[in-house]
């Protein structure tokens, strides 16, 4: 499946650079494993898969991990969107940011994806705000992140 983040032999696309900068900035960088707000071991730019407390990584390893993860999550996101290439870059990156943060399965089952597939991109952008909880409680940082994702999403329409 095609990626709008990377072009073979050319590196990152405009959407790819936007995604890395936006998601990396929202996730923050830690080269040592820590427990996130719900206690999950996390490293680099929000990576949780296979992470154990005590793990470390270099900044370069973290950047590579983020780029690879974004392309992986993009593929999963594209698989559940009926016409992903019709979505402008900023909403596309906003949806990818949410998908990376909540997981592909949750994104694909979300109102965001359903509204995008129905052609209601404004409604999809507004549905981003609902994803402000972790561990069953509203998290101030997620409220702020979702507002920024929604703002960028709507700005791109």
**Cα–Cα distance, 80 to 62 (Å, whole number):** 27
The residue annotated as part of the active site, out of 36, 72, 89, 120, is: 36
Active site residue 149: no
Q: Exposed e or buried b for every residue in 74-104, given b needs 16+ CB within 10 A?
A: bebbbebbeebeebebbbbbbbbbbbbbbeb
**Cα–Cα distance, 97 to 93 (Å, whole number):** 6
Q: What is the DSSP string of 24-72?
A: HHHH--EEEEEE-TTS-EEEETTB-TT--TT-B--HHHHHHHHHHHHHH
**Cα–Cα distance, 41 to 51 (Å, whole number):** 6
Active site residue 61: no
The residues assigned a catalytic role are: 27, 36
């Amino acid at each position: 499946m095609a990626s709008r983040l990377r072009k073979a032999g050319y590196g990152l696309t405009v959407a790819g650079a936007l995604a890395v900068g936006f998601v990396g900035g929202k996730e923050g960088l830690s080269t040592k494993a820590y427990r996130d707000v719900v206690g999950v071991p996390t490293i680099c730019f929000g990576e949780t898969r296979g992470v154990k407390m005590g793990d470390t990584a270099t900044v370069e390893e973290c950047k590579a991990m983020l780029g690879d993860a974004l392309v992986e999550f993009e593929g999963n996101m594209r698989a559940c969107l009926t016409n992903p290439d019709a979505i402008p870059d900023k909403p596309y990156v906003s949806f990818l940011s949410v998908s990376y943060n909540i997981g592909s399965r949750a994104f694909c089952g979300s109102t965001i994806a359903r509204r995008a597939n129905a052609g209601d991109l404004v409604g999809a952008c507004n549905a981003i705000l609902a994803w402000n909880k972790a561990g069953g409680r509203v998290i101030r940082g997620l409220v702020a992140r979702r507002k920024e994702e929604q703002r960028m999403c709507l700005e791109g329409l």
